[in-house]
Chains A and B, each alone.
Chain A
């Protein structure tokens, strides 16, 4: 079965510093991968997704992610973090080949931004 691991529960980054959030997936074929962001008490917003092709994917709000098949990873990056980026970030893999295909999420990484 597909699964997603986000090794970091909580990360603190200084405003203006770079950010990398880790995500590892378990899936036998090329997965469909997603990153979502959740502000406190809110629903989830899609940042970016990867299907195939270029392994570096650009998303909204200046985020990007790189798919590395050899490492089964799909890490999220941002070159310069803003205070408004403080939120919870979820990596997800698509559960394929089923009529009720759904996203399977990691447990999330909480990002705090210090001034």
Chain B
């Protein structure tokens, strides 16, 4: 069966410090990978998605970046955190299915709470 791991679960970082959140998926190949951010009252905002190694698309211009160094690894980074980067970050994946992804369920990790102080 497929599983998704995301870490760290919680972190408190000072403004201006770097960030690295890591996500790995097991039990599937060539998944679509996603980073979402959840802020209070704003629902889930899609930040990045990736359809393959080294292929990253950004949805929202911001202080964050993403990388996919391996097929099932997705990393969210920042060189200098801002207060506004605080929130709940969710990694997610979706299976590849005969050339399309649409309609497949997106599965979420347990999330990472980031507080920038």
B27 at interface, CB cutoff 8 A = no
Check A46 for interface membership: any CB of B closer than 8 A.
yes
A90-B43, A96-B102, A100-B51 in contact; A43/B111 too (CB < 8 A)? yes
Size of the B side of the interface (Cβ < 8 Å), in residues, is: 27
User: Which one of B49, B103, B107, B111 lies within 8 Å of A41 (CB-CB)?
Assistant: B111
Residue of A nearest to B45 (CB): A105
Residues 42-79 of chain B, each 1 if its beta carbon lies under 8 Å from chain A, else 0: 11101001110000010000000000000000000000
Q: From residue 5 to 38 of chain B, which have CB atoms closer than 8 A to chain A?
A: 32, 34, 36
Judging by beta carbons under 8 Å apart, are B108 and A102 in contact?
no
**Secondary structure at chain B's binding surface: helix, strand, loop or mixed?**
strand
User: Do A43 and B49 form a contact, CB below 8 Å, given A32-B103, A101-B101?
Assistant: no
Number of residue pairs spanning A and B whose beta carbons lie under 8 angstroms apart = 61
Contacts A43-B110, A105-B43 known; 11 new A-B pairs at CB < 8 A: A9-B41, A41-B113, A42-B110, A43-B90, A44-B90, A46-B107, A90-B44, A94-B103, A100-B32, A106-B43, A107-B42
- List residues of chain A with CB under 8 Å of any chain B CB: 9, 32, 34, 36, 41-46, 49, 51, 90, 94, 96-97, 99-108
Decide yes or no: A32 and B110 within 8 Å by CB, A100-B57, A101-B32, A102-B49 being known contacts.
Answer: no
Interface of A is mostly: loop
Q: Which of A49, A99, A104 contacts B105 (CB 8 A)?
A: A49
Complex CA gap A43/B106 in Å reads 11
Q: What are 21 contact pairs spanning A and B, CB under 8 A? A: A32-B102, A42-B111, A43-B90, A44-B90, A46-B105, A96-B102, A99-B101, A100-B32, A100-B49, A100-B57, A101-B100, A101-B101, A102-B32, A103-B106, A105-B36, A105-B43, A105-B44, A106-B43, A107-B42, A107-B43, A108-B44
